[in-house]
Amino acid sequence: MTRPQMPNEYPDATFSADVPDPAPASLVRALEAVNVAYDVSPRERASHGRDWWPLSIRDVSHGHVPHWPGIVVRPRTALDVSNVMRLANEHAVAVTAQGGRSGVLGGAVAPTGAIALDLTGLDQVLSLDTTSGTVRVQAGVFGPDLEEHVGAFGWTVGHFPQSFDLATVGGWIACRGAGQYSNRYGKIEDIVRALTVVLANGDVVELGGRAPRQAVGPDLLQLFVGSEGTLGVITDATLVMHPKPTYERRAAYGFDSFEEGLDACRRIMQRNTHPAVLRLYDHAESERSFGIDRCALIVLDEGDPLLVDATMSIVLDECFQAATLDDELVERWLSHRNDVSALASLWEHDIVVDTIEVSGSWATLAPLRRHVIGALESIEDMLVVSAHQSHAYSDGACLYFTFAGRPTGDPTEFYRRAWDEATNEVLANGGSLSHHHGIGRNRARFVPAALASAFPLLVALKSQLDPHNILNPGALGIGGAPW
């Protein structure tokens, strides 16, 4: 497929002067000796020093390159990655593993002087087990390519994040992602069965793959799910598949309050019902997205007709307080769910906008939402704050906040304050720092408080697996200074 583009591109004048020197000649010669492709051109280095983090969008629009990796390296095999890591250790050069660079928190930003390890050349589907229902795939395969391949055999992986067109399998796993149909198919940690990982010193380890579940000590595979390239580099994975659905049903309901809608979602999930999509929008988002003056709940399920019909019957039963809305709202969401085309334009016109996804128990979600929205609305120059619920469980759910403001002062300071205010309220009200976007660099400063007494354990793991802090230093709040 044609590789997806960043939200905006650097102006040509960006590269006319003051470009830092590329990687040392000794490292370049060493890469040539092991026959690994690389690029030291200014445009490629600048491009690989950013991802979809909104602050990067603003920097690009102003021709500002805050991070100049020393070299872009393009391996095609696990052996190539192993050689790169070995050389990086020998030359004391940091490495940031990158896929589609679709993350929105700066996790794929390669620091100045680092190796930007572009894994999109690892783009092969390696094997398909149609008896067990698994697929082995390299880390650089993009979502649409994977679904096209397995779909030809009547299967789906069922992992459809908003970044589906932009993200790779390795990125899904490294950021502990969740797809929009995750209530039905599970999050990425439920889907992955095996990993091949290259450690900081170049060692290659195989994890999992023998059975759906193993009781052989702690699950070492899960150590790397969500590690954001700080503990090792994922080169391939085995994922669970599901028969491609042939049956689907949709519904939409309107609640007078967000709290009533949340309670209906709780009851649905606690009846052991798992509709693929169960998304509740507050009044502001319902008006903006659907043009209605209620809190809209959209529901979609797919799969075996008996299961889908039973699921949708329970949903109807638990939405007794709600008005029945036209299920065309579901189609409206489906048609626009991955459209982020307006993001770059807003930032380029000095509108600071972002989303903050968190999670919490059902008992904490309503007060958590009120406190976060109140904190954001209290910030000077804030224009709008809204929320929706997007992924649900029997014991809690994910809340997704959107904020937009037009600051009269420094946009970066406004942005940072918004994140500080919202995150402090999330943690104070018992919520989790992130549900599925991960940490990157934007959230790194909050990790010690979020993990509390467990944070030293993460630091100890990092020091054992990457004693020289070669791997993505600063991401996850370890191995380097947070942003």
Distances (CA, A) of 99 to 119, 169, 174, 222: 5, 8, 10, 20
* pTM exceeds 0.85: yes
For the chain, 483 residues long, give each residue's pLDDT as a single digit of tens.
Answer: 556 689 999 988 888 778 999 999 999 999 999 999 999 999 999 999 999 999 999 999 989 999 999 999 999 999 999 999 999 999 999 999 999 999 999 999 999 999 999 999 999 999 999 999 999 999 999 999 999 999 999 999 999 999 999 999 999 999 999 999 999 999 999 999 999 999 999 999 999 999 999 999 999 999 999 999 999 999 999 999 999 999 999 999 999 999 999 999 999 999 999 999 999 999 999 999 999 999 999 999 999 999 999 999 999 999 998 999 999 999 999 999 988 888 899 998 899 999 999 999 999 999 999 999 999 999 999 999 999 999 999 999 999 999 999 999 999 999 999 999 999 999 999 999 999 999 999 999 999 999 999 999 999 999 999 999 999 999 999 999 988
Q: What phi, psi does 169 have (nearest 5°)?
A: -60, -45
Residue 320's CB is within 10 A of a number of other CB atoms, namely 9
Domain 342-442 has CATH 3.40.50.300: no
3 state SS of 153: coil
Domain ranges for the chain, please list them: 12-120, 125-243, 248-336, 342-442, 443-483
Domain 125-243 has CATH 6.10.140.120: no
3 state SS of 60: helix
- Architecture of the domain delimited by 12-120: 2-Layer Sandwich (3.30)
In what helix (H) or strand (E) does residue 288 lie, and over which residues does it extend? helix 283-290
C-alpha span between 321 and 298 (Å, rounded): 15
3 state SS of 353: strand
The CATH number assigned to the domain with range 248-336 reads: 3.30.70.3450
User: Which residue, among 165, 180, 156, has the nearest Cα to 239 in the 3D structure?
Assistant: 156
